A = this chain, B = another copy of it.
C-alpha cells in the first residue's frame, strides 16, 4: 500500500487512497451526510459489507474520517474530518467531468432504489405545504419489488419508504425509470416531460403545479452535457 507508485507527487499519494474501486462513491455518501454503515450502503447498494468495512477502515487510517460510538452506544458513526470535507472539491470536479463527458446511461445503471435514495436528499421541504406531505412514485418499467416508493415529507425531514407509510398519498408520480433518471440528471426538462406525459401526476392541481418546485434534481443537473 505504501509507496504504491514510487513517486512523491501529490497526485500519486492521493491516488493511493482515492483511485480505488468504490472509494469516490463512499466519500460522496459521507459528504452527502451519511454517518452510519447501512446508510452508506443505501447510497452504494452494490458494495459488499466486507469491502465497505475495509474501505472505511482505510479512510479512517489515512485521516479522512473518524469512527465513534454514538451517544447511546448503540451504533457506530463515521464522521468526516477536515481532510474528508475537503474532498468535496474532488467530488465536484469528478462529478462535473462525469456529467459532461462520461458514457451514456445504460439499462443496468437504472436502479430505482438508488434513485429514490438520491432524491430524498434533494427534496426541498421548505417549498412544500406545512405538515406532512406524502409523495408516491410508481416506476412502471421496474420489477415488482421496485415499482413503488413513498417519500414521507415532514417540515424538516424526508424519509424513503418501500412500503406504504400508512398515510394517504398526496401526490402520485407515474413514470419510467429511464425518463425520470434523465430528468434527474438534467438531460430533459422536467416541466416538458410533465406536459408531454412522460411523467404523469395524480393529485390536487395545486400540488401538481407546485411539484417541480420541490424537486432540486441532481447536484450536477445544471452542468451541460457535451456528448
A156 at the interface (CB under 8 A from B): no
A101 at the interface (CB under 8 A from B): yes
Q: How far is the CA of A111 from the CA of B5 in the complex (A)?
A: 10
Q: How far is the CA of A21 from the CA of B23 in the complex (A)?
A: 12
- Answer whether A83 and B100 are a contact pair too, CB < 8 Å, given A18-B19, A22-B5: yes
* A81 (CB) vs chain B CBs: closest residue: B101
A-side interface size class: 35 or more
- Answer whether A11 and B98 are a contact pair too, CB < 8 Å, given A5-B25, A90-B90, A108-B6: yes
Residues of B within 8 A of A7 (CB): 25, 109, 111, 114
* A118 (CB) vs chain B CBs: closest residue: B9
Identical subunits present? 2
A144 at the interface (CB under 8 A from B): no
Interface residues of A in 181-227 (CB under 8 A from B): 181, 185, 218, 220, 226-227
Q: How far is the CA of A20 from the CA of B19 in the complex (A)?
A: 5
Interface residues of A (CB under 8 A from B): 2-25, 28, 44-46, 62-64, 82-83, 86-87, 89-103, 105-111, 114, 118, 181, 185, 218, 220, 226-227
Residue from the set A11, A82, A118, A227 with the largest chain B CB neighbour count within 10 Å = A11
Q: How many whole Å from A97's CB to the nearest CB in chain B?
A: 6
Q: How far is the CA of A95 from the CA of B110 in the complex (A)?
A: 32
- Answer whether A3 and B109 are a contact pair too, CB < 8 Å, given A63-B101, A220-B10: yes
Residues of B within 8 A of A9 (CB): 25, 28, 95, 98, 114, 118, 218
Are B109 and A6 interface neighbours, CB within 8 A? yes
Q: How far is the CA of A22 from the CA of B15 in the complex (A)?
A: 8
Are A114 and B25 interface neighbours, CB within 8 A? no
Q: How many whole Å from A139's CB to the nearest CB in chain B?
A: 14
